[in-house]
Structure 1
Amino acid sequence: MVKLNNFYHPDELREGLSDFVDRNNNQRCHESLNNLTPADVYFGRGDAILKRREEIKKQTLKQRKNQYLNQKLIVL
């Protein structure tokens, strides 16, 4: 990202680097960290996030199964 932009003043470069580091550490999920941000892992929020994701996944699968079964009942 930094190489693609032209910076004409050192302050612009500092701001661009700061934005890059912020996005990389606080917003962008990393596959090697189980799709968590480095900040989530560093501050110990990773386990809670992964647990919540697993709950959402179970609820979604249950909901889809119910929708499928209801659709089959309507067709029959």
Structure 2
Amino acid sequence: MYTYKTSGVCSSEIKFDIKDNKVKEVLFVGGCPGNALGLSSLLKDMNINEAIEKLSGIKCGKKSTSCPDQLAKALTSVLSTIE
């Protein structure tokens, strides 16, 4: 399980697990519970590269980032270590 400290969003960190280049589990600490659970459910068993592509650059309101964008950054940060 990996832990990523977020920046600029309501969630303080994201915990996630990757196996065979697929997202297996995502847990947001803080933030909007319904959105976090929905996002976690949608990402289950998704290829890590596809998840990064879909989530990168999403903004939350006037913020320059979002919880999905932060997750894309987290996934990108571990991608080089698992390939």
Which structure carries more helix by proportion?
1
Per the normalisation by structure 2, the TM-score is 0.23
Task: State the structure with bigger RCO (CA 8 A, min sep 6), 1 or 2.
Answer: 2
Bigger Cα Rg = 1
Which structure carries more strand by proportion?
2
